[in-house]
Amino acid sequence: MLDVKNLSFSYNKNTVLNNLSFTVNAGECIAVIGESGSGKSTLLKTLRGEYDLNNGEIFWNNTQILGPKFNLVIGYDFIKYVAQEFELMPFISVAENIGKHLSNFYKKEKKERVDQLINVVELNAFANTKVKLLSGGQKQRVALARALAKKPEILLLDEPFSHIDNFKKQSLRRNVFKYLKENNIACVMATHDKEDVLGFADRLLVLNNKSIEENSTPKALFENPKTPLIASFFGEFNVINKKIIYAHQIKVVEVSNIRALVLKNYFKGNHYLIEAVLNDETILFEHDTALEIQKEVCLKTE
């Protein structure tokens, strides 16, 4: 188990993280969200042991995670970190990058391991391709596979699917998170993408004002967002009579005391997002079809 106790960290006396405490169990996936600059990447780096803490402690089971003041070499064998900069070796192949730190004494086992991970990240057709010839998304997939090669106990992921196009992203997510669960690998993932969270994360940490604002399941936070920050992560929302209401929770009805004037339609595939004005405030709601511009409609909220 990862146990973070009262973690605080500052850059040049500028506090970035203040008194954070949480745990991560073996095999559990924790997503960390927050606005840009909220400290998500910094948190991952402190968990890796890249920085010295101002206050607090980090333990993985009985091992304390310490920073560069205490370790000549940053990091621990049981922790692997995939940054937004991939740090791959450009002039060797995908397979060679993934197997770089695996022992050559067991060549058959090494090849089987590399082949397995190439399959997980869906790069079978590029196994023998030099990394310098890959796209950014393909390099990100190589970095994921390389991090998994030596079977870490905990994986730290910083925006792990941000460079990967939508043609591959959905199946890749399923493959990676399935692999982590099957192998009981804990995961802490910083992300801006709700699709990384919904269906995959066991818990969600919301960073705001240098602290953990919420620590709960994605389902609980989605169904009861306490702040606009949380609601905005999950989708379009409105604040009506001081209550947060998602766009999908507003329906068009024949008769209602709530009347809004339609301003614009946005096609979203299986629905339209309607922009309207209600009591001089812009609101957003979903509807099956486009609505007539400048037409008044009656609405109800769920």
CA distance 219 to 199: 9
- Region of poorest pLDDT, from 69-73, 77-81, 191-195, 199-203: 69-73
Q: How would residue 107 be classed by pLDDT, with cut points 50, 70 and 90?
A: confident
Query: Looking at per-residue confidence, does 84 or 169 come out higher?
Result: 169
* CATH class as words, domain 236-301: mainly beta
Q: Is the pLDDT of residue 72 over 90?
A: no
pLDDT for res 100: 85
Q: What is the pLDDT of residue 145?
A: 92
pLDDT at 85 over 80: no
pLDDT tens digits for range 178-196: 999 999 999 999 999 999 9
* CATH among 3.40.50.300, 3.40.50.970, 3.50.50.60, 3.40.50.1240 for 2-223: 3.40.50.300
Spatial separation of the C-alpha atoms in residues 103 and 283, rounded to whole Å: 59
Which of the four pLDDT bands, split at 50, 70 and 90, describes residue 289? very high
pLDDT at 48: 94
CA 176 to chain centre: 13
pLDDT, tens digit, for every residue of 115-155?
999 999 999 999 999 999 999 889 999 999 999 988 999 99
80 by DSSP, 3-state: which?
strand
Task: Give, in degrees to the nearest 5, the angle at Cα 251 between 248 and 255.
Answer: 165
Q: What is the pTM of this model?
A: 0.90
Domain boundaries in the chain? Answer: 2-223, 236-301
Which carries the bigger pLDDT value, residue 84 or residue 15? Answer: 15
- Flag whether pLDDT at 12 surpasses 90: no
Q: What is the rounded average pLDDT for all residues in the chain?
A: 93
Nearest C-alpha neighbor of 48 from the set 24, 65, 30: 65
Torsion of CA 63, 65, 68, 69, to 10 degrees: -70
Tell me the mean pLDDT in the region 263-284.
96
Confidence of residue 75 (pLDDT cuts 50, 70, 90): confident
- Predicted confidence band at 165 (pLDDT cuts at 50, 70, 90)? confident
Check pLDDT > 90 for residue 296. yes
* Domain 2-223 identical in fold to domain 236-301: no
Asked if the model's pLDDT at residue 73 lies above 90, the reply is no
CA 225 to chain centroid, in Å, comes to: 18
Predicted confidence (pLDDT) at residue 221 exceeds the cutoff of 80? yes
Confidence (pLDDT) at 251: 96
Q: What is the mean pLDDT of residues 185-209?
A: 95
- Examine the pLDDT at 86 and tell me if it is beyond 80: no
Buried b (16+ CB within 10 A) or exposed e, 157-181: bbbbbebbeeebbeebbebbbebbe
pLDDT at residue 68 in the model? 92
pLDDT at 101: 79
